[in-house]
Amino acid sequence: MASLLYTTFTVLMAILSSSIVCFAFPGFSFGWGGGAGGDGDGSFGNGQGYPGLFPEFYSFSCPQANDIVMSVLESVIAKEPRMAASLLRLHFHDCFVQGCDASVLLDDNVMFASEKNSGPNSNSIRGFEVIDEIKSKLEEACPQTVSCADILALAARGSTVLVSIQIFIYR
């Protein structure tokens, strides 16, 4: 349990430090779709004209998005603390192959075998029901606004934050 908490804390610190670098040095985005600044050519990210995900991304289109995500995570993680690490791992597996596109959430169909049930992921990654619950509540509040890929990112970030807060409180 201690090594899981340490790993989660280490990942959180890496995420936070990369965000701090992006805000401290506008225009420096690690190539992550724009981050806190542009490329100096009037566009965001890699000259594609759109910003990447940042904490205030949904502040106008779905201002309650973060509160909805955090409320679901708080109740789920209170019942099953290991789910925080599972959601971070789910996000990792989504981003690992060809970017963070929520493809790990797709089910098998006649056209293709999904990442969800592929050999390395089968009976290994979990947390799909938590993502489904978050998506359902977000669709009630802000229909067709928050992408599934962003839900995975928000859930990974939020669960890591919640576990990190618990580490500091109980030390």
Q: Give the range of the structural domain holding residue 10, as residue numbers without chain letter.
A: 1-53
Residue 50 has pLDDT above 70, yes or no: no
The pLDDT score that the predictor gives to residue 127 is 97
- Confirm whether residue 31 is marked as ligand binding: no
99, with CB counted inside 10 A (0-12, 13-18, 19+), is exposed
- If asked whether residues 112 and 88 sit together in one domain, one would say yes
CATH number, domain of 61, equals: 1.10.520.10
- If asked whether residues 80 and 24 sit together in one domain, one would say no
Question: Could you tell me which residue, 45 or 160, shows the higher pLDDT?
Answer: 160
Question: Over the stretch 111-151, which tens digit does the pLDDT of each residue have?
Answer: 888 888 888 777 889 999 999 999 999 999 999 999 999 99
Distance, in Å, from the CA atom of 153 to the CA atom of 75, rounded to the nearest integer, reads 18
- If asked whether residues 38 and 71 sit together in one domain, one would say no
Count of structural domains within the chain: 2
CB distance 127 to 86 below 8 Å: yes
Question: Over the stretch 62-121, which tens digit does the pLDDT of each residue have?
Answer: 999 999 999 999 999 999 999 999 999 999 999 987 889 999 999 888 888 888 888 877
- Confirm whether residue 115 is marked as ligand binding: yes
- In the residue annotation, 93 being an active-site residue is answered as yes
Question: Could you tell me which residue, 51 or 30, shows the higher pLDDT?
Answer: 51
Catalytic choice (8, 77, 93, 135) = 93
